[in-house]
Amino acid sequence: MTTDASPPLLRAEGLVKTHHGEGAPAHAVRGVDLDVRHGEFVAITGPSGAGKSTLLHLLGGLQRPDGGSLRLDGERTDGYSEARWAVERRRRIGIVFQFFNLVSNLTVADNVELPALLAGTPVRQARAERVRLLAELGLEGKERGMPGELSGGEQQRVALARALVNQPRLLLADEPAGSLDSKGTREVMRLLSRFHQRGQTIVLVTHDARLASAADRVISFYDGRIADDAALGAVPARRTGPAAVIDLNDPED
Ligand SMILES: Nc1ncnc2c1ncn2[C@@H]1O[C@H](COP(=O)(O)OP(=O)(O)OP(=O)(O)O)[C@@H](O)[C@H]1O
C-alpha cells in the first residue's frame, strides 16, 4: 500500500533543457521542481512553445536534461542509458502522443501486444491482456484491422491500449486529443478519467482547458517554468480487483 512516507512516483529537481536548433537556443525548460505522487492525475497546460512537451519528454526519458535531476520511484535516473530508459518505458511508463505513433504495417492486435512481448510477457498472457484492453476500449472486432483503417479516435484508443498493456505505473499523454474532433476529445477525457479513478497515475500535456479539467491538479506552464500549480480534487484511493468495463456510449462514463 502506498503511504505518505513512500517517495513520489516522479521527482524533478531543477530540471533544465535547452534545444539547439538552427536559430537561437530555445530555453524550453528553465528549472522545474515537480513531484508527482502515485495516483495523481496532473495536467500541464500553457501556451504554444511554453515547453510542455519538452518537460513531458524529460519525464519519460525521451530527452535528457541539461541540468537538474529526475527520480523515478525514488531512484535517480541520471545514470540511465538509452537501453535502460527503453526498459523503463516498457515496464513503468506508458506514453500516448498526439499522432498516435502506431506501427502502420502491424494489425491493431499486434500493435497492442508488441510492447508486452518486448517486455518478455508470455504470448498467451499478452494476448489475453490485449483482448481485455481492446474490449474495454470498445475496439472488439477491430483487432485484425490496420491502424490506417480506423478513425482518429479509434487509433488513439489503440494507442492507449498499447500504452497500458504492460500496466505501467505512469501514463504520459502528450496532447492526446490534439488531432481529434470534439467527440474524440470527449472519449479521451472519459477514458483518462476512468483509468485515473482506478488508480492510474497520469501526466497529461494539453492546451485544451476542457481536457485539463479532467485532472485533479493543473499546472500552468509558461516560458519554461511552472507559473501555477493548483490541486483541484482529492487523489482517489488505488483500487484493486478486476477493472470495470468502460462503456463509451454511456454518458456517465
Ligand atoms: N527538437 C527541438 N529543436 C529545437 N527547438 C525545439 C525542439 N523542440 C522544441 N523546441 C523549442 O523549444 C520550445 C518549447 O517547445 P515545446 O514543444 O516543448 O513547447 P510546447 O509548450 O509543448 O508547445 P506546443 O503546445 O506548441 O506543442 C519552443 O521554442 C520550441 O520551438
**pLDDT tens profile 75-104:** 999 999 999 999 999 889 999 999 899 999
CB of 137 within 8 A of CB of 102?
no
Whether the CB of 28 sits within 6 Å of ligand 1: yes
Residue 132 lies in a domain: yes
pLDDT band at 233 (very low <50, low <70, confident <90, very high): low
The alpha carbon of 125 and the centre of ligand 1 are apart by a number of angstroms equal to 39
Q: How far apart are CA 253 and CA 249, in angstroms?
A: 8
pLDDT band at 242 (very low <50, low <70, confident <90, very high): very low
Q: What is the pLDDT of residues 208-224, one digit of tens each?
A: 888 999 999 999 999 99
Average pLDDT over residues 44-55: 95
N-term to C-term CA, the chain: 27
Atom of ligand 1 nearest to the CA of 55: 18
Whether the CB of 235 sits within 6 Å of ligand 1: no
pTM: 0.89
pLDDT for res 5: 73
The answer to whether residue 235 scores a pLDDT higher than 60 is: no
Residue 91 lies in a domain: yes
pLDDT for res 210: 87
The answer to whether residue 121 scores a pLDDT higher than 90 is: yes
pLDDT for res 232: 73
Q: How far apart are CA 221 and CA 74, in angstroms?
A: 24
pLDDT for res 4: 60
Whether the CB of 19 sits within 6 Å of ligand 1: yes
Q: How many domains does the chain have?
A: 1
Residue 25 lies in a domain: no
> In angstroms, what CA-CA distances link 153 with 1, 107, 205, 251?
35, 16, 18, 17
pLDDT band at 246 (very low <50, low <70, confident <90, very high): very low
Report the percent of the chain where pLDDT is more than 70.
90
Positive or negative CA dihedral for 188, 159, 161, 36? negative
Give 229's strand partners.
219
Residue 30 lies in a domain: no
Residue 84 lies in a domain: yes
Could you list the residue range(s) of the whole structural domain that residue 214 is in?
A: 38-62+80-219+226-231
Q: How far apart are CA 34 and CA 36, in angstroms?
A: 7
CB of 62 within 8 A of CB of 35?
no
Residue 18 lies in a domain: no
Q: Which residue has the cell 481536457?
A: 211
Q: Of 42, 4, 12, 8, which Cα lies nearest the Cα of 30?
A: 12
The alpha carbon of 188 and the centre of ligand 1 are apart by a number of angstroms equal to 24
pLDDT band at 250 (very low <50, low <70, confident <90, very high): very low
Q: How far apart are CA 214 and CA 13, in angstroms?
A: 26
Residue with the smallest CA separation from ligand 1 atom 12 is 28
Give 41's strand partners.
202
The answer to whether residue 148 scores a pLDDT higher than 50 is: yes
The alpha carbon of 18 and the centre of ligand 1 are apart by a number of angstroms equal to 10
Report the mean per-residue pLDDT for the chain: 89
Q: How far apart are CA 9 and CA 235, in angstroms?
A: 14
CB of 147 within 8 A of CB of 102?
yes
Report the percent of the chain where pLDDT is more than 90.
81
C-alpha cell at 29: 525548460
CB of 56 within 8 A of CB of 47?
no
Buried b (16+ CB within 10 A) or exposed e, 9-21: bbbbeebbbeeee
Pocket test for ligand 1, best of 54, 58, 172, 175 (most atoms within 8 A of CB): 54
* Alpha helix ranges (H) inside the chain: 52-59, 82-91, 108-118, 123-136, 152-164, 182-197, 209-212
The answer to whether residue 237 scores a pLDDT higher than 70 is: no
The answer to whether residue 19 scores a pLDDT higher than 80 is: yes
Residue with the smallest CA separation from ligand 1 atom 28 is 49
pLDDT band at 154 (very low <50, low <70, confident <90, very high): very high
What are the backbone dihedrals phi and psi of residue 44, each rounded to the nearest 5 degrees, phi first? -110, 120
pLDDT band at 239 (very low <50, low <70, confident <90, very high): very low
Q: What is the CATH number of the domain that holds 50?
A: 3.40.50.300
Residue 17 lies in a domain: no
Average pLDDT over residues 32-45: 96
